[in-house]
Amino acid sequence: MISVEEALARILAAIAPLPTVRVPLPEALGLVLAEDVIAREDIPPFDNSAMDGFALRSQDSKERQGQPPRLKVTGTVAAGYVADHAIEPGTAMRIMTGAPVPPGADTVIQVELTRHGGPESDWVEILQEVKPGNNIRPAGEDMRHGQLILPRGSEIGAWEIGVLATLGWASVPVTRRARVAILGTGDEVIEIDQPLQPGKIRNSNSYLLEAAVRRAGAIPERLGVARDTVESLREKFSQAINADLILTSGGVSVGDFDLVKNIMSEQGEIQFWRINMRPGKPVAFGHIGAVPLLGLPGNPVSSAVTFELFGRPVLRKLQGHTHLLKPQIEVKVEDGVQERAMRRHYVRAYVRWQDGKFVARTTGHQGSHIMTSLLQTNALLIVPEGGVVVQPGDTVQAIMLDWPENAS
């Protein structure tokens, strides 16, 4: 039996990032940039006005004999258009936010600091002196032609998509999404649209894993459920040869019908198959042919928790991420954990932010078949190996799967 840390290190050492592909910008959300993004233009591309107002020469804004200067208005520059003439001394042009500053003007005064005779008027009075550059957003102030804007390896979120859009990256080189074959196992496992029969249960794991894989940005493919025979498993694995990862659930323990390991030895290799943790001791890792296989336990909670701890980091590494793990924080456990486990215990809990602290409450019965213990869970409390009891009010480390909505 190996430790969680060793298992994770050995799994990740066997995983390399997938090749680069180009995808249309909107499809890049959540993926990792495979090349540096360098600005090919200045952004903003031209000096433009930050206000609706008047473009003028700053010199012309100075008071004359205690009177506000009155300038001749020679036209209007709207956003999207370019002035067809320059600003001469003693003149101004109406200008809208985002419109290019006309030649000759070195400043913009906002409309509220002027007096004028309406939208058509050919005069304007400047009620306040303005300095050069006032209300002008210079070309290149945000990004300079040639500047490194996003290094390769950056994760593309909504805001990065906005930046890439403004730079004209209609398609983006990214590390491609992983294709994940998901296989249930067990003669007792039937499809979810089937009525229950004596001795049978529905295939919850494959659906839970499919959703978790999709949430990790990868492309799941459910291969159904293999019977507990080597023939059925062989047949199912033959459908997974093009996957980047095979995820199985069940069939990796010590029972007479736990045959996933047999197929791994027959068609590839087993690296290890037991981890010193609870839930989820029977986790197997190895290969079928060249495809990595992560064999998760059959018990639904074990399968969910081990996916979070091992499956998700694998998918992140495959997809080019460098931060693979969820954040860990210290939390105060309101109700404590009385159950002694000799193995490392990952206890499902809800963490909330209260009075300047993160406070956790466990989600009840922690059996690996108690799926309802996953509901309301946003964190896994880490209770160390060796039968540690966590008393109410004790502090432990927690892996945050999601932040509470009120964690402000």
Which of the residues 287 through 316 are near ligand AMP (CB under 6 A)?
297-300
Residue 188 binds which of Mg ion, ligand AMP, none (CB < 5-8 A, kind-dependent): ligand AMP
User: Cα(113)–Cα(92) distance, rounded to whole angstroms?
Assistant: 14
User: Amino acid identity of 57?
Assistant: R
Output 164 or 288, the one with its CB closest to ligand AMP: 288
Residue 69 binds which of ligand AMP, Mg ion, none (CB < 5-8 A, kind-dependent): none
Tell whether residue 205 is a contact of ligand AMP (CB under 6 A): yes
**How far is CA 149 from each of CA 1, 10, 142, 166, rounded to the nearest angstrom?**
46, 35, 10, 12
Q: Please tell me the count of residues contacting ligand AMP according to CB under 6 A.
A: 20
Q: CB–CB of 137/46 below 8 Å?
A: no
User: Cα(78)–Cα(82) distance, rounded to whole angstroms?
Assistant: 8
CB of 259 to ligand AMP, least distance (A): 9
Segment near ligand AMP (CB under 6 A); pick from 174-182, 201-209, 310-318, 372-380: 201-209
Output 71 or 189, the one with its CB closest to ligand AMP: 189
Question: Side by side, which strands form the sheet with 179-185?
Answer: 219-226, 179-185, 245-249, 291-296, 284-288, 268-272
Tell whether residue 184 is a contact of ligand AMP (CB under 6 A): yes
Binding residues for Mg ion, rule: CB under 5 A, are 186, 250-251, 298
Tell whether residue 206 is a contact of ligand AMP (CB under 6 A): yes
Tell whether residue 210 is a contact of ligand AMP (CB under 6 A): no
Output 53 or 250, the one with its CB closest to Mg ion: 250
**How far is CA 100 from each of CA 52, 88, 155, 230, rounded to the nearest angstrom?**
12, 16, 33, 72
Residue 205 binds which of ligand AMP, Mg ion, none (CB < 5-8 A, kind-dependent): ligand AMP
Residue 286 binds which of ligand AMP, Mg ion, none (CB < 5-8 A, kind-dependent): none
Among 255, 327, 386, 387, which residue interacts with ligand AMP (rule: CB under 6 A)?
Answer: 255
Q: CB–CB of 281/297 below 8 Å?
A: yes
**How far is CA 252 from each of CA 257, 295, 305, rounded to the nearest angstrom?**
9, 7, 16
CB of 243 to ligand AMP, least distance (A): 18
User: Cα(289)–Cα(203) distance, rounded to whole angstroms?
Assistant: 26
User: Cα(46)–Cα(248) distance, rounded to whole angstroms?
Assistant: 56
Which of the residues 112 through 151 are near ligand AMP (CB under 6 A)?
none
Output 150 or 247, the one with its CB closest to ligand AMP: 247
Number of Cβ within a 10 Å radius of residue 339: 16
Tell whether residue 248 is a contact of ligand AMP (CB under 6 A): no
User: Cα(287)–Cα(270) distance, rounded to whole angstroms?
Assistant: 7
List all residues 6 or more positions away from 265 whose beta carbon is below 8 Å from its beta carbon.
none
Output 251 or 313, the one with its CB closest to Mg ion: 251
Binding site for ligand AMP (CB under 6 A): 184-186, 188-189, 201, 203-206, 249-251, 253, 255, 258, 297-300
